[in-house]
A and B are shown apart, each in its own frame.
Chain A
Amino acid sequence: MRKRTILILDHVEIELMENILRVDESRSGSATIVSLSGRMDASSSPAAEAVLSRLIGAGERRIVVDMSDLDYISSAGLRVMLASLKRLREDGGQLLLAGLKPEIRNIFEIAGFQRIFSIYPSPEDAVSSFDARV
């Protein structure tokens, strides 16, 4: 009986952990903005990966990932960003990051990822950099 209760609690916990990342999409000019809020870890990253893969698969070439409301990113989250970046670049597209909080920026820097990602202060800055490139 006791074991059963623990199992149920575990399950609820996983459910909660899976719902800690919110992924929103919007359009701004020629770019699609994907806004991430909450925590991006191994359990929640697939939600963001699904959205990014769908966009890239649908032919989207200019993506800005707005991390203004992202509180945490784990290596699994970094992997999703890196995979999307690589895929977009292969197709001649570009993925820009925007609005990183200092702790998120720090995680990118520890992995050395600030060298491969273009990071902008705000999504608007990122979008206008696209427009400037045209």
Chain B
Amino acid sequence: MSMVEPMLPSLLSTSIVLFQMMCVIVVFAYLITRTRFFSEVLDGVFTWKNQLFLIVLFGILSIYGSESGISILGAPINVRDLGPVVGGLVAGPLVGVMSGLIGALYRLTMGGFTMVPCTIATILAGLIAGLVYIVAGKKFPGITVAVSLAVIIEGIHMGLVLLISRPLSQAVAVVSDVAFPMIVANAAGMFIFSFIIANLKKEKETRGERDLFHSELERKNAELQIAREIQTSFLPEKIPGIPGYSLAASSIPAREVGGDFYDIITAPAKKTGLIIADVSDKGVPAALFMALSRTVVRANAEWHSEAREAIQGANATISADSRSGMFVTLFFAVLDHESRRLTYVNAGHNPPLLFRTGSDPVPLQITGIALGALADADYEERSMDLCPGDVLLFYTDGVTEAIDDQYTQFGEERLVELVSQNINLPPADIIEKINSAVSVHSGGAAQFDDMTLMVLKVGTI
């Protein structure tokens, strides 16, 4: 405690002492607001631990406020009320009153003729701040309210001195000397605290938004991963061998996974069912729709002996399940190994191409609408006889519609040319050529569709 000065301190020396106080308060405020306990309380999470911690620290701040003051006739200019007020404003009446009590008890030991009003004022400060906290909806009321409150509380403090301290003339003398600097000191201290707290709250909000964004991103990535796993698990693990034919297939999911699939069904009586399909839309819904479609088509293909009936049945089931307008374009063919007869239904899928030596590729045109679009749609079934050397290319539009950075599509023309040039290669190599050509074409451009290919080559039996 400073010694009683022989003369009233000048405004200048008062300012220097106030400045020193402010520096200590800045450091104190910074340290206390960085603690986990303070952070919890700001988030509205109260425990005995964090409340006790704040009571003790704001109590210490109150003691410092008494100690750092300059004594005038035994009534120091001080910021004793600051700790309890901040405590009350951030953590409610309990912390405000208890830390005020600590500061008040210390003030009692200092004596002087303003001892009683100063002691009462400190406890009252914590209580009023705590009530303001509740009125503000149990949160820190903001810089303006906090600073105004500091001014009002010092006013009350002065009022109590005038009311209780005797002789009155001495009380009036003290109050007229200290009122202005004390109000300024407490308001400034409060401004520092509230400024730091307001910043901290803002920082927390920004961090909250960022965390939300991150978790959104993580959820989306997880969704993509799930979609991919569903999609992969529904593709044939290996391609069955068909005597007298060679067959290969590949499916490359786009970054935003879609619902392409191919399927090979080994049927009795030396027949094989070949399916390529493309579900509209992307992500988990498309992957689930793909899983549904594949299962339904498979079940229908095994149940019905005719391709047309199988697709008609599958369409009725899938349509019943498609509320969101989802549909699947699907090409279904049944290959009779020995007669080389191919019977197919094309449900809105981009036509597979038949390459035969000496003639232009023949598209296997659509024979009905995409599955899931129209419940009672009719499908036509067509047949054709394959010859040794024929190459049948099934693909999804992700191949021909792969774009470069100028939005130029890979296109059917390029695809036809590429396959014609490599017609003598085994199916797996033809697919390899197409995939690498498309990848060169698209360069770095982001692709939004899966690329699925299946190539059947007729050998000589």
For chain A, the count of residues having a C-beta within 8 Å of the partner chain is: 31
Q: Which residues of the other chain, A, contact B282 by a CB distance below 8 angstroms?
A: 42, 76
Partner among B325, B326, B449 whose Cβ is within 8 Å of the Cβ of A74: B449
Q: Which residues of the other chain, B, contact A13 by a CB distance below 8 angstroms?
A: 444-446
Q: Which residues of the other chain, B, contact A109 by a CB distance below 8 angstroms?
A: 366
CB of A61 closer than 8 Å to a CB of B: no
Cα-based distance from A75 to B280 in the complex (angstroms): 5
Min Cβ gap B410→A in Å is 13
Q: Which residues of the other chain, B, contact A43 by a CB distance below 8 angstroms?
A: 256, 448
Q: Which residues of the other chain, A, contact B327 by a CB distance below 8 angstroms?
A: 75, 78-79, 82, 111
CB of A10 closer than 8 Å to a CB of B: yes
Contacts known (A14-B446, A84-B325); A74 close to B397, Cβ less than 8 A: yes
CB of B81 closer than 8 Å to a CB of A: no
Min Cβ gap B79→A in Å is 48
Cα-based distance from A63 to B81 in the complex (angstroms): 69
Contacts known (A80-B325, A83-B324); A112 close to B448, Cβ less than 8 A: no
Contacts known (A78-B327, A79-B327); A110 close to B446, Cβ less than 8 A: no
Min Cβ gap B194→A in Å is 38
CB of A41 closer than 8 Å to a CB of B: yes
Cα-based distance from A82 to B322 in the complex (angstroms): 11
Partner among B280, B351, B445, B446 whose Cβ is within 8 Å of the Cβ of A79: B280
Question: Contact between B446 and A111 (Cβ–Cβ < 8 Å)?
Answer: no
Which residues of B, 411-461, contact A by the 8 Å Cβ criterion? 444-446, 448-449
CB of A116 closer than 8 Å to a CB of B: yes
Question: Contact between B329 and A111 (Cβ–Cβ < 8 Å)?
Answer: yes
CB of B67 closer than 8 Å to a CB of A: no
Question: Contact between B281 and A42 (Cβ–Cβ < 8 Å)?
Answer: yes
Total A-B Cβ pairs within 8 A: 93
Residue on A nearest B319 in the bound complex, by CB: A86
Cα-based distance from A124 to B93 in the complex (angstroms): 71
CB of A104 closer than 8 Å to a CB of B: no
CB of B103 closer than 8 Å to a CB of A: no
CB of B54 closer than 8 Å to a CB of A: no
Question: Contact between A112 and B368 (Cβ–Cβ < 8 Å)?
Answer: yes
Cα-based distance from A116 to B372 in the complex (angstroms): 12
Question: Contact between A42 and B373 (Cβ–Cβ < 8 Å)?
Answer: no
Residue among B258, B280, B397 facing the most chain A CB atoms (10 A cut-off): B280
Q: Which residues of the other chain, B, contact A17 by a CB distance below 8 angstroms?
A: 446, 448
Question: Contact between B448 and A41 (Cβ–Cβ < 8 Å)?
Answer: yes
How would you classify the secondary structure of chain A's contact residues: helix, strand, loop or mixed?
A: helix
How would you classify the secondary structure of chain B's contact residues: helix, strand, loop or mixed?
A: loop
CB of A120 closer than 8 Å to a CB of B: no
Cα-based distance from A91 to B89 in the complex (angstroms): 56
Which residues of A, 93-126, contact B by the 8 Å Cβ criterion? 109-113, 115-116
Min Cβ gap A113→B in Å is 7
Cα-based distance from A81 to B280 in the complex (angstroms): 11
Partner among A76, A84, A87, A116 whose Cβ is within 8 Å of the Cβ of B373: A116
Cα-based distance from A14 to B444 in the complex (angstroms): 12
Which residues of B, 302-344, contact A by the 8 Å Cβ criterion? 323-327, 329
Q: Which residues of the other chain, B, contact A72 by a CB distance below 8 angstroms?
A: 401, 407
Which residues of B, 84-129, contact A by the 8 Å Cβ criterion? none
CB of A39 closer than 8 Å to a CB of B: yes
Q: Which residues of the other chain, B, contact A85 by a CB distance below 8 angstroms?
A: 325
Q: Which residues of the other chain, A, contact B377 by a CB distance below 8 angstroms?
A: 112, 115
Residue among A79, A82, A109 facing the most chain B CB atoms (10 A cut-off): A79
Q: Which residues of the other chain, A, contact B263 by a CB distance below 8 angstroms?
A: none
Min Cβ gap A90→B in Å is 10
CB of B374 closer than 8 Å to a CB of A: yes
A1-43 Cβ-contact flags toward B at 8 Å (1 or 0): 0000000011001100100100000000000000000010111
Min Cβ gap B69→A in Å is 54
CB of B183 closer than 8 Å to a CB of A: no
CB of B278 closer than 8 Å to a CB of A: yes
Cα-based distance from A10 to B255 in the complex (angstroms): 11
Cα-based distance from A74 to B446 in the complex (angstroms): 15
Residue on B nearest A90 in the bound complex, by CB: B323
CB of B77 closer than 8 Å to a CB of A: no
A40-57 Cβ-contact flags toward B at 8 Å (1 or 0): 011100000000000000
Cα-based distance from A75 to B407 in the complex (angstroms): 17
A to B CB contacts below 8 Å, 6 in the list: A13-B444, A86-B323, A111-B329, A111-B366, A112-B366, A113-B370
Binding site for B on A (CB under 8 A): 9-10, 13-14, 17, 20, 39, 41-43, 72, 74-76, 78-87, 109-113, 115-116
Q: Top 10 A-B pairs ranked by shortest CB distance?
A: A83-B325, A112-B369, A79-B280, A111-B348, A75-B280, A82-B325, A112-B348, A42-B448, A111-B370, A42-B282
Binding site for A on B (CB under 8 A): 256, 258, 278-282, 323-327, 329, 347-351, 366, 368-370, 373-374, 377, 397, 401, 407, 444-446, 448-449
**Apart from A111-B369, A112-B370: 7 A-B pairs, beta carbons within 8 A:** A74-B401, A75-B281, A76-B281, A82-B280, A83-B325, A110-B351, A112-B369
